[in-house]
């Protein structure tokens, strides 16, 4: 008989969270650890990653900090060697260049592409191989509502976030028979360092809050439930999906033109 009370139990599992130094990545690492996972907290900022790992250890969990810039294939390989083939991989890093399409330079477009899409590809290729060889694993990528709906100034970012969903779907199709699940989470507006520019503008901030059905922004911790679901046995038959965690944003019509 299924022991439903243990659906979210991650005891004995190893999880790597990339971007664990702040925002959604930090919250995800803390949440996975609270349900028993041993964490590798990876971030380009080792000091911040160390802070997250320290918080987990102080709470009685097990965690280690890892320096990782996903634009560097060597660092990706080193993180995989350190963690082995983890049971769970969560990748959150992203950057944005908010400009009209006709004003984005080649260099700016490439900078967004290099981290948001090519970096994610490097990670899922290397960790996906290890998980497939073992015959199990859950990969969780972070997309965005911008993979589905756009506004002026989001061209490069939106393209990479739509690409992230398709990477997840493709890898899910390729690795399903080998026991590896691959999914994406698409947040709405979340109070993280990436949205600092918006939060600094009261009109822009309020407009985004009003756009969601819940009429407010999300906190990073509100993404943790979705991460736990996809990481655990609770999501054992979920793969190739894009889970919207957007406060109803994509269900509501209307738009706001930001001050570019």
Catalytic residues: 157
Extract long-range pairs of 199-202: CB within 8 Å, 24+ residues apart. 201/259
Q: Cα separation of 153 and 112, whole Å?
A: 13
Within 8 A by CB and 6+ apart from 50, the residues are: 41, 65
Do the beta carbons of residue 32 and residue 9 sit within 8 Å? no
Q: How far is CA 148 from CA 28, 29, 55, 186, 249, in A?
A: 23, 26, 35, 9, 11
Instruction: Report CA dihedral (224, 130, 172, 30) to the nearest 10 degrees.
Output: 0
Report the DSSP pairing between strands 63-67 and 14-18. Answer: unpaired
Q: Select from 74, 151, 81, 156 the least CA-distant residue to 114.
A: 156
């Amino acid at each position: 008989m299924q022991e439903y009370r243990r659906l979210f139990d991650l005891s004995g599992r190893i999880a790597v969270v990339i971007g664990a130094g702040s925002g959604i990545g930090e919250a995800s690492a803390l949440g996975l650890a609270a349900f028993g996972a041993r964490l590798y907290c990876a971030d380009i900022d080792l000091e911040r990653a160390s802070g997250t790992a320290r918080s987990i250890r102080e709470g009685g969990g097990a965690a280690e900090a890892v320096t990782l810039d996903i634009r560097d294939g060597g660092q990706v390989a080193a993180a995989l060697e350190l963690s082995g083939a983890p049971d769970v991989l969560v990748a959150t890093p992203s950057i944005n260049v908010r400009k009209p399409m006709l004003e984005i330079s080649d260099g700016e477009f490439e900078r967004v592409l290099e981290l948001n899409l090519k970096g994610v590809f490097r990670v899922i290729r290397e960790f996906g191989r290890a998980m497939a060889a073992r015959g199990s694993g859950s990969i969780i990528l972070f997309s965005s509502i911008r993979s589905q709906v756009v506004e002026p100034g989001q061209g490069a970012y939106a393209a990479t976030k739509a690409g992230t969903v398709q990477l997840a779907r493709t890898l899910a199709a390729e690795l399903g028979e080998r026991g590896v699940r691959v999914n994406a989470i698409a947040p709405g507006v979340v109070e993280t360092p990436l949205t600092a520019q918006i939060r600094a503008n009261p009109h822009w901030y309020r407009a985004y809050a009003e756009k969601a059905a819940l009429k407010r922004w999300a906190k990073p911790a509100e993404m943790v439930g979705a991460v736990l679901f996809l990481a655990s046995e609770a999501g054992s038959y979920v793969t190739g999906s894009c889970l919207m965690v957007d406060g109803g944003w994509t269900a509501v019509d209307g738009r706001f033109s930001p001050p570019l």
